[in-house]
Amino acid sequence: MNEVESRFSIKRVKKSSDADYACALKIYNETTAVDIKTSTNEITYWIEQPFTNGSSFELMVFVLYLDGTAIGFAMMCYIKRTKTVLIDYLAVYDEFRINAVLFPYLSLLQNYLNKNGYDVAYIVNEVSAKNKGMSINKESKMFKKLFCLEGFGEICADYYFPQLGLNNSESIFESNLYVKSNDNITCIRRETYLSIVDSIYKDYNTAWYMPFFINENDKNQYISTNEQYYDKICKSIDDELIEIDYMECPILTGPKSENTSGVLPTKLKSKRNVKIPLLIMLVITCPLFIIWLYTFVLGLLGVPIDAANTMIGAVVSASITSASAILLARRK
């Protein structure tokens, strides 16, 4: 075989009944750390909700395909107020957690935004800095390397991953916000940064959980928790301009960095190309049909069938030769 190819593609999920959504959700469930995992029931709920002019955010969930097979799950949201896209999840099994797989999908997600006309000012992602960066989950390790190499910069200011509902207290921890715009900005105004943080906390996270709170006390408690951490961030920033650091990329193969080098897995079963067998069938059956029709017409005209033997033989011979040529070309 002289030609080798791998085809990467993504498909946005518009309904929970969409093909391969359940498979992608299973991958997300099995690979995402508990301290950053959003309930799959909540994700499914928001997929079914229509995006309207009154919505503060738009959820986008994708199935990731490699050679036609679903191998992953991605989720991001567009926050209207600040024109910010937050990349939440990019989940694949360990065998696919390599640069050759992750980079194409990140690029496809960004291409989706461009081709569908989203007015995006910033693309951001929350990367764990738990225990001063010593106890971060594997997703954050992956994202830190991936985003650094993709031109994302770390905003040098305090940030806290917002609590995922009332019951997941493990989800509140120190984080870093990585950002990318249409230019490698070297700093961001304090007001702009706080506006982005506020939109993530209020327009996205708080709005996300409102349908799931049973009573007003739960709702107010969650809002109060987010406000406390937002105030804490505000008080920690004194300078008017906040630096964005593009320099501190993790060592690609160091002991504290997940190794994501490698080649594409080859055990995927690609979908069979049914065009070739159909073509062969047509090549064989069409001449037989022509022969039958030709014989029928000769019978109506009273012409002896023996007179057409030479022509029929030539047609059959040509059919067999064509089918054999296609098969031989297919094996090369």
CA distance 97 to 301: 71
Q: What is the pLDDT of residue 311?
A: 57
Residue 321 contacts residue 280 (beta carbons within 8 Å): no
Q: d(Cα 64, Cα 268) in Å, to the nearest integer?
A: 14
Q: Which long-range contacts (CB under 8 A, 24 or more apart) does 236-241 make?
A: 236/157, 236/158, 237/157, 237/158, 237/190, 237/193, 237/194, 239/190, 240/189, 240/190, 241/187, 241/188, 241/189, 241/190
Exposed e or buried b per residue across 185-213, where buried means at least 16 C-beta atoms within 10 angstroms of its C-beta: eebbebebbbebbbbbbbbbbbebbeeeb
Return the pLDDT at 324.
56
By CB neighbour count within 10 A (0-12 exposed, 13-18 middle, 19+ buried), where does 31 fall? buried
Structure letter (DSSP) for residue 48? T
Q: What is the pLDDT of residues 240-294, one digit of tens each?
A: 999 998 865 554 444 444 545 444 555 554 444 444 455 556 656 666 666 656 5
Predicted confidence pLDDT, tens digits, the chain (332 residues):
677 788 999 999 999 999 899 999 999 999 998 888 999 999 999 999 988 888 999 999 999 999 999 999 999 999 999 999 999 999 999 899 888 888 899 999 999 999 999 999 999 999 887 666 555 656 666 777 777 778 888 999 999 988 888 777 777 778 889 999 988 789 999 999 999 999 999 999 999 999 999 899 999 999 999 999 999 999 999 999 999 988 655 544 444 445 454 445 555 544 444 444 555 566 566 666 666 565 665 566 665 655 555 555 555 555 555 555 555 555 44
- Strand-pair category, 122-128 with 84-92: parallel
Cα dihedral sign, 100-92-15-81: negative
> Is 8-245 a domain of CATH 3.40.630.30?
yes
Q: Where are the domains of the chain?
A: 8-245, 275-331
Q: Give residue-wise pLDDT tens across range 19-40.
A: 899 999 999 999 998 888 999 9
Question: CA-to-CA distance for 222 and 216, rounded, in angstroms?
Answer: 10
| Average per-residue pLDDT for the chain | 81
Query: Exposed, middle or buried, 90 (CB in 10 Å: 0-12/13-18/19+)?
Result: buried
* pTM of the predicted model as reported, rounded to 2 decimal places: 0.74
